[in-house]
Structure 1
């Protein structure tokens, strides 16, 4: 029997022959043996192509500002597995996770579970024992067949729908939208962060009687200049600091801008507010404002400074995320050049990501992720997959650490280095940048 958390993580990674094996039968059977019930008084499940982690962070921060006891389950992690399970704002401890895995192992019998299924059951087991007011569950992949869909949410959220994970979810927005809409429940609210969600999402909501609450239709967000997708982050709630407005019919909130950068974070914050209000909790404006400002999530335009060079780390790994990065670069241009450190997994639309950012990047450094199993690529294979994109001619490096070092050596004061393309890319950069 494994003893340490590291031992358990190695063990659960080897128990199922597939990394991803979608379906609820296995996880539901083990959950029944564990006698798992609802993990909190209220549950919000958050799905979508991009923006899930940030939306969870906003919901969590608002709820904690209200004094609720909150659990959040997210994935993947960046630096430590413990990040995936938070209770009252603190990452789960090794001993707690080990106890959860031991309970699952005792209950599963001969049922094979994937790494993600083990993790989801562990989070639910810990949440149930923590007497939470609210549990927030981030969907891992899709929605309908994702392990988190074991739980019936009081509110479901779909942030965005775009092309990603086509091998599992389908190759157009309508098919992918149907998979994501599977987290909705009959006669319960379904909050949609897209102004124009796929028709498949709306059809499914109508068919089951879910109450769709749509951005740009049922709730709105804008800045004083009338733009709902352009803003500058603020570090404090100060008189005269940047403000924005969240509103629905007959109700409006004037709020401080989030500390989380990027234009899209305003949409994520607005969607989070709609989700909390959909619980039926009418929180004071001051509580919502505190949550919006205090929300944090690593690897989302996370900034560092190295000798007059700004280094920005982002987990963006698909064309939609790359378009949002491009919008941020356009809104906040660097004083000097923008240098990219780009590494991504082989099952992504690499050309689509590179093309979305091409006009904003002056120099490219490519890195391999060969160590990331079957989905990883060495740098030469990665560059070949970019054939025809301007990024393909970038300097090549075996790994992210070497690529970042080369970019820093090349950069001059006033330049910006953007590190992006995968959670693995962001994690490698954050480990390096955390060093003294």
Structure 2
């Protein structure tokens, strides 16, 4: 198969959460374990850091990877979803997995796929672990997909685990309360593996402490008061720095050689080292055009606070989302004096723009409708003054379709 044929096989034959939603979410690890067994269990061949959470897990993963790269370690990075290219999901020292490896891997496991019938995500996890073994990485930074307990990545025994925070997202699969969601995320806590909690809250504290006690492991709450990094980090990263630093401290306790200079330089150069896209990504100036993949109430609230601090003129919001999102928790976050542009992505899970507009009206918010994000950007640029800000957000899939990224 060619690379294009391989991607078509992965995207169309296999259940995929981005396309199919909840029905593609496998609530056990059986398929992943079977796939990895076929591959001679590559996940046992490298050290790792495991990261779960509602917001900030992808950013934290990139931050830790950048620091480990700067410290001189060959560093694997597995994150999801991708924005533009499938190969963004699997990287070593910031370089994406080669297309020929993707083709060869899929050819190798096709017989097993026919027998096991895994999901898109399960195959991608197995591919990442196989590539990290093949490349002899020193350490791999692994981000969960959804939840933690039953996430396909939860077959590793890491050096340290990080749970960034707990918020209301994917409630149809993870639970209706913060405590229920925390129990799913806490599933990554392993016996005798230290776990960092990025955000201490009354609703989730007892859950994490219960899991740590049962599994005989050390639990550490990241302390923002002890932020040591001498870095000019963007606002989207600020909240995650204490958790990142706490992970680095645990790695140092386990013998990894990492200096304060490595931390500073890694965080200062995060984007160039890891190729992070779609996190407060500035696309153009005058007007300032920013794309950010935030898609739930907590993430959007932080994002809009930062944008508000920068905005000297008017704010133009280009918003698209997916069908299974609780919009009632999001609409009230949008500044009332901002101009709204409703849009949608081309994925089947996208909420049609007409439905988004109707829900907006029901919540007292009106906006213009555009069938795709690039039409919305063009319209916003025509209306905006040089000191205005255009923000594109609400869905990873909307940001992924921005032509200038």
Task: Decide: shared fold, TM above 0.5.
Answer: yes
Match of 1:203 in 2: 210
- The 5 Å alignment of 1:61-100 reads 61-100=66-105
Report the Cα distance in structure 2 between the residues aligned to 1:141 and 1:202, rounded to whole angstroms. Answer: 21
Matched, 1:12 2:10: yes
Contact 1:13 1:114 in 2 (8 A): no
1:105 deviates by: 1.9
| Structure 1 stretches of 4+ moved >4 Å | none
Matched, 1:312 2:290: yes
Match of 2:220 in 1: 213
**CA 1:163–1:316 in 2, change beyond 3 Å: closer, same or farther?**
same
- The 5 Å alignment of 1:243-392 reads 246=227, 253=228, 255-258=230-233, 261-262=234-235, 264-279=236-251, 280=254, 281-296=256-271, 297-306=276-285, 308-330=286-308, 332-359=309-336, 361-369=337-345, 371-373=346-348, 375-391=349-365
Report the Cα distance in structure 1 between the residues aligned to 2:229 and 2:155, rounded to whole angstroms. Answer: 37
Report the Cα distance in structure 1 between the residues aligned to 2:283 and 2:373, rounded to whole angstroms. Answer: 16
Report the Cα distance in structure 2 between the residues aligned to 1:372 and 1:349, rounded to whole angstroms. Answer: 18
Match of 1:170 in 2: 175
Report the Cα distance in structure 2 between the residues aligned to 1:267 and 1:301, rounded to whole angstroms. Answer: 14
Contact 2:48 2:142 in 1 (8 A): yes
Contact 2:50 2:160 in 1 (8 A): yes
Report the Cα distance in structure 1 between the residues aligned to 2:46 and 2:87, rounded to whole angstroms. Answer: 23
Q: TM-score, normalised by structure 1?
A: 0.85
**CA 1:424–1:310 in 2, change beyond 3 Å: closer, same or farther?**
same
Report the Cα distance in structure 2 between the residues aligned to 1:19 and 1:95, rounded to whole angstroms. Answer: 27
1:340 aligned counterpart, secondary structure: strand
Q: Which has the higher contact order (CA 8 A, sep 6+)?
A: 2
**RMSD of aligned residue pairs (Cα, Å):** 1.7
5+ unaligned residues in a row in structure 2: which ranges?
A: 16-22
5+ unaligned residues in a row in structure 1: which ranges?
A: 223-244, 247-252
**CA 1:178–1:7 in 2, change beyond 3 Å: closer, same or farther?**
same
Structure (1/2) with the larger strand percentage = 1
Report the Cα distance in structure 1 between the residues aligned to 2:44 and 2:79, rounded to whole angstroms. Answer: 15
Match of 1:398 in 2: 371
1:427 deviates by: 1.1
1:109 deviates by: 4.8
Structure (1/2) with the larger helix percentage = 2
1:347 aligned counterpart, secondary structure: coil
Report the Cα distance in structure 1 between the residues aligned to 2:110 and 2:155, rounded to whole angstroms. Answer: 18
Contact 1:33 1:108 in 2 (8 A): no
2:162 aligned counterpart, secondary structure: strand
**CA 1:282–1:34 in 2, change beyond 3 Å: closer, same or farther?**
closer
- The 5 Å alignment of 1:26-41 reads 26-38=31-43, 41=46
Report how many residues are paired: 389
Contact 2:90 2:128 in 1 (8 A): yes
Report the Cα distance in structure 2 between the residues aligned to 1:399 and 1:173, rounded to whole angstroms. Answer: 34
Report the Cα distance in structure 2 between the residues aligned to 1:102 and 1:59, rounded to whole angstroms. Answer: 32
1:390 deviates by: 4.1
Matched, 1:120 2:96: no
Report the Cα distance in structure 2 between the residues aligned to 1:22 and 1:171, rounded to whole angstroms. Answer: 17
